[in-house]
Structure 1
Amino acid sequence: MMRLHSTINAREASFSARYSNSKKNKVTNEVVWKQFVCFKAGQTDEARSVKRALSGGPIKTRTRGKVRTDCKAKMSIIKQQTGSDWSVSVFTEEANIPTCHQMQLSEIECGGPENVGCTERDIRNFERDLRDEQKGIDAETVIEFFTSEKEKDSTFSFVYETDSGNMFKRCLWADSRSRMTYSVFGDVIGFDSTYNTNNDEKTDSYIWLLNKFLEAMPTDAPIAIITDQDPAMTKAIAQVFPKTVHRYCLWHILNKFSEKISPVAFRDHYKSIKNVKKISTSPEEFEQSWVEVIKYAKLEQNSWILLMYELRHKWIPAYFSHVFFAGMSSSQRSESSHSFFKKYVSNKNSLMDFITRFNRALRRQRHNELVADHIDMNEHPKIKTNCPMETQMVKVYTKKKWMEFQEEMSRSHGYSVQHASTRDESDDIVIYNVMSFQSCSSSKPRLLVHDIRRDHISCNCGKFEFDGIPCRHMLAFFRISQIFELPDRYLLKRWAREAKVGIVYTMDDENTNDDPTNFLVSRRSKLSYKASILIDDAPLTNERTKFLDEQLDYLHGKIKEMSSSPTTVYGSQKGERSNKSRKIGDPSGIRTKRCGKRMLSSKEKSIF
């Protein structure tokens, strides 16, 4: 009956459901949890065909096309501990079924297209009409929405700008969660300007954006930033973030080699060129090796190769080995986020519709983050040895970073550490050679420098400085030095499970005694943060949710009792809206730009 009821509800929403999974009580063997998903959830399983192909057997293909599109719509229900009632524990409404599929499903549900009452064009026209309703009031609606969000959350930040004709031009907004995240992880950011590019991507626009971004965030400019090779963005970053290390996306540049050099040169020499980039440990080593391999490939006169060499300090790893980039060398992480958001938004959305859909996608992304945090706090990864350092760090790192550290830890046992030389007369600087047992005699050892006075070690592989994880060479040195626990100086808080614990907004705490309104803002900010922690933790189980719900009702009643007694109110928490109509026009349509002009080398500039 329950499965039938779920299927009927799903069909009423224009799709069908299927039974996905269940769990039983280990004692009573009674089903206590069930999950229903969209019939298009998941992806087509091709494992059987692959297995048959590997075994040499015949590959059977189905004439039926692929149905599953990895739709995320689902519902989970859990049985109450007492009684026979069930409650919904997880409900994901968003589906990725396009309009044409919705029409097809409606035809099936109604018994044919003649019974649906509309056509596919009618549905598309309805969506168009919804967009048309926003015309003329779209910009005003967005500003009213941002103002409302600011009234509800004092840490919400937004700013917008209009052009000379009072038409909505651009805006930037950041909620409290985004600002908190930046305060913890804002040392390295990725900015991919290739997403739905348009003609307004000029240096002045980027300068405005970066300045407003810096004003909105609670901490200073990032240490490092990764972008694509955009000349306008490059100029803007140099002006707004002068102390920030700017790096071009390595992935984008490597992908251009097949287009910029001849097919024969790419086939015969690309691997050698790529290896120069990979194995060079210093700028000097790279420059020498690059000249040799380019000369051998006869690419000395290739204009793009010359430009890339001139810009080598913007993309070659050897120039960034001393800078922390959180292990990132490309903006692909930003692009993966874009592919995620594309499921929710498109360039046909109105401003308000875009913001609504964007926030919906952001909630989904933050939910996934919460699930990952829950796994980190409750799952205990397996350790391979009884090494005290491994036992120590499995309790500190997140699951993903722990796997990286464990890999380095395992590989460290394959390295020998030998004293090479002493740098100064006081014997305070000692240099070691770290060599793999399986390396050939011609391979170069890694150089590890131990500053005894500062009690600090560094390796020329640069992994710790770049990734924030101790490299295998450092771990091998710790092993032979009888250092059984990782010193705190080599542990970055951003990789710890508790990186976000204890983060409280302090941007509103300054000078609170000077202005009563700021005093209320500070109170609300702190209470909002504590409430957000409860809201993040409570939904993980039904018991926590029920307990928090009851306690909130109780606390609300107590606060009402307290509010009946005389109190002093310092100003209004809600911002008063101006009675004067803003009359801000909607932005005009912007054409998508073509490929931008490439950056000119100094030689080319001298010609012009």
Structure 2
Amino acid sequence: MDKIGFIKKDMYNLEDATSRRAYGFYGDVVVFDTTFNTNRYDLTFAPMLGVNNHGQTIVLACAFLSKETESFVWMFEEFKKAMPGGEPKTIITDQDAAMAIAISIAFPTTFHRLCIWHITSKFSVKLPPDAYKEYWREFQKAIWDTDNKDEFDAKWNTVVTKAGLTDHPWLSSMFDLRESWVPAYARQFFAAGMSSSQRAEGSHGFFKQYISRRNSLMDFIIRFERALSHQREKELVADHVDAFEVAQCLLPMPMNKQMATLYTRTMFQKFEQELIQSTACFLELKTEDACKVVFNRWKKTAKSGLVSDANGNEIKDCADPGLLIKRSTMSRLASDVVEDALMSEEGCELLSETLKSLQVKLKLLKDGPSNNEVGGSSSQTQYMKDPKRVRCKGRSKGVTGAKKKVMKRGIRHCRECGHIRHDRRQCPALNTL
């Protein structure tokens, strides 16, 4: 695999050719989140995610960060060096001051969109209980049911005044940041159908199936690659379906039939749903130039273009280019075998037993070496050392002084009166009863 690893100041970054090509096609919108720890060193796992032409979450790159505040700029700069095509058009994050500063430095032309889910979920905490209960639905309408900036401002100011919260500091700060999270303000910036970083949070649940806090760095690398393989397998399945099937149209319109042949199945279904609702177009951008860009990234042929690095060299996919052909051949063979087996009960039993046995063997083949063997023979262990463990925020400093000395000597206290030099059976308090 065309692997590139960055090691600097206890920060580790991993990405490969497949991810770099994916960024060339789908790097217009990136989701960045740092709320997931997956290793024994308490380093922060920071994935950079995108969405492909099937609407699936894809991993573009990831890094381990030892100090978030000092590491964000480094990570974003390394990301730019590795990825073709320059800065993303939009990056979606949660509301983090250090992250916002780093994005303004490393991605000065990128629109920084704040996760709307993180902001709206704080209303129940930040607002007085009575005000939240009475006016939350009006806040929701102002946020989601407005078509332009002026309409949002008017509705927001009305509900804030009615609730008596005109001087509320948190609401005032959110209003000042409205261009970064309110749909009416962010509508002109393409976001691939995303308004929050929940894709990142969803991916955390996915990766937890493969990795845990007990992992060493090499454990993580091997298991992470296994998780990526599983994720990319789903993308190949979707590619295969689109290559041999055309989505059924609900509306018998010439334009609809044409879109069914161009869009991936998932994106066509969204397009048709919007069309049924009499929306002019399901895409978020409305300028002619923007529609061309969005149209291409949702097409079945979105990955057919050439992607080059900064030196003009083609970035070739590290995946087997004949994998789709193999999948198609095996699918046809499997279908023929099933049809033959259905001719008799004996055939069904034979096929069922054979498939179960084959499934066990394939699982063993897929899982590879046992946990004890992980990282033992990899060439990457030649140069990749384990990082120092990072002290977590809010971690206790441990016991010191007299208390530590007592614990070291193992002095016990009576569970009845709390004094030392005797236990509960010899406690004077009990003997006096």
Aligned to 1:538: 326
The residue type equivalent to 1:494 in the other structure is R
Q: 1:177 to 1:585 in 2, by over 3 A?
A: closer
Aligned to 2:104: 238
Q: 1:291 to 1:201 in 2, by over 3 A?
A: farther
Q: Quick check: 1:205 aligned with 2:71? A: yes
- Deviations, residues 40-78 of structure 1 (Å, cap 9, x unaligned): xxxxxxxxxxxxxxxxxxxxxxxxxxxxxxxxxxxxxxx
Aligned to 2:14: 173
* Superposition deviation, residue 298 in structure 1: 1.5
For the residues of structure 2 that align with 1:315 and 1:507, how far apart are their CA atoms?
33
For the residues of structure 1 that align with 2:162 and 2:291, how far apart are their CA atoms?
47
Aligned to 1:591: 391
1:126-525 correspondence to structure 2 within 5 Å: 153=2, 156-162=3-9, 169-196=10-37, 200-412=66-278, 464-466=283-285, 489=292, 492-505=295-308, 507=310, 509=312
For the residues of structure 1 that align with 2:71 and 2:394, how far apart are their CA atoms?
17
The residue type equivalent to 1:498 in the other structure is T
Aligned to 1:59: none
* Superposition deviation, residue 375 in structure 1: 1.8
Aligned to 1:5: none
- Secondary structure of the 2:320 match is helix
* Superposition deviation, residue 544 in structure 1: 8.8
For the residues of structure 1 that align with 2:70 and 2:294, how far apart are their CA atoms?
40
Unaligned runs of 5+ in 2: 38-42, 45-64, 334-378, 396-433
Q: 1:386 to 1:585 in 2, by over 3 A?
A: closer
Asked if structure 2 preserves the Cα contact closer than 8 Å seen for 1:405 and 1:469, the reply is no
Q: 1:506 to 1:245 in 2, by over 3 A?
A: closer
For the residues of structure 1 that align with 2:27 and 2:312, how far apart are their CA atoms?
21
Please identify, of 191-200 and 246-255, the stretch whose mean Cα deviation from structure 2 is larger: 191-200
- Secondary structure of the 1:346 match is coil
- Secondary structure of the 2:31 match is strand
For the residues of structure 2 that align with 1:241 and 1:205, how far apart are their CA atoms?
15
* Superposition deviation, residue 334 in structure 1: 1.4
* Superposition deviation, residue 306 in structure 1: 1.7
For the residues of structure 1 that align with 2:229 and 2:311, how far apart are their CA atoms?
25
Q: 1:405 to 1:469 in 2, by over 3 A?
A: farther
Q: 1:543 to 1:269 in 2, by over 3 A?
A: closer
The residue type equivalent to 2:31 in the other structure is G
Asked if structure 1 preserves the Cα contact closer than 8 Å seen for 2:89 and 2:109, the reply is yes
Q: 1:260 to 1:231 in 2, by over 3 A?
A: same
Q: 1:357 to 1:237 in 2, by over 3 A?
A: same
Q: 1:469 to 1:258 in 2, by over 3 A?
A: farther
Asked if structure 2 preserves the Cα contact closer than 8 Å seen for 1:193 and 1:228, the reply is no
- Secondary structure of the 2:277 match is helix
Please identify, of 219-228 and 200-209, the stretch whose mean Cα deviation from structure 2 is larger: 200-209
* Superposition deviation, residue 183 in structure 1: 0.3
For the residues of structure 1 that align with 2:233 and 2:244, how far apart are their CA atoms?
16
Asked if structure 2 preserves the Cα contact closer than 8 Å seen for 1:321 and 1:463, the reply is no
Asked if structure 2 preserves the Cα contact closer than 8 Å seen for 1:463 and 1:469, the reply is no
Q: 1:237 to 1:290 in 2, by over 3 A?
A: same
Larger relative helix fraction:
2
Aligned to 2:339: none
For the residues of structure 1 that align with 2:241 and 2:287, how far apart are their CA atoms?
21
Q: 1:232 to 1:506 in 2, by over 3 A?
A: closer
- Secondary structure of the 1:395 match is helix
For the residues of structure 1 that align with 2:323 and 2:267, how far apart are their CA atoms?
26
- Deviations, residues 235-274 of structure 1 (Å, cap 9, x unaligned): 0000000000001100111111111112221111001001
TM-score, normalized by length of structure 2? 0.68
- Secondary structure of the 1:464 match is coil
Q: 1:364 to 1:490 in 2, by over 3 A?
A: closer
For the residues of structure 1 that align with 2:331 and 2:160, how far apart are their CA atoms?
66
For the residues of structure 1 that align with 2:11 and 2:75, how far apart are their CA atoms?
9
Asked if structure 1 preserves the Cα contact closer than 8 Å seen for 2:283 and 2:294, the reply is no
- Deviations, residues 309-343 of structure 1 (Å, cap 9, x unaligned): 12212211111111111111001111111110011
The residue type equivalent to 2:13 in the other structure is L
Please identify, of 260-269 and 225-234, the stretch whose mean Cα deviation from structure 2 is larger: 260-269
* Superposition deviation, residue 488 in structure 1: 8.2
Q: 1:327 to 1:505 in 2, by over 3 A?
A: same
For the residues of structure 2 that align with 1:275 and 1:357, how far apart are their CA atoms?
44
Aligned to 2:49: none
Bigger-Rg structure (1/2): 1
For the residues of structure 2 that align with 1:268 and 1:298, how far apart are their CA atoms?
12
Asked if structure 2 preserves the Cα contact closer than 8 Å seen for 1:250 and 1:315, the reply is yes
For the residues of structure 1 that align with 2:320 and 2:80, how far apart are their CA atoms?
24
For the residues of structure 1 that align with 2:294 and 2:220, how far apart are their CA atoms?
40
- Secondary structure of the 1:385 match is coil
Kindly report the root-mean-square deviation, in angstroms, between the aligned alpha carbons of the 2 structures: 3.1
The residue type equivalent to 2:390 in the other structure is I
* Superposition deviation, residue 398 in structure 1: 0.9
Unaligned runs of 5+ in 1: 1-148, 163-168, 416-458, 471-486, 511-521, 546-576, 596-608
For the residues of structure 2 that align with 1:294 and 1:213, how far apart are their CA atoms?
41
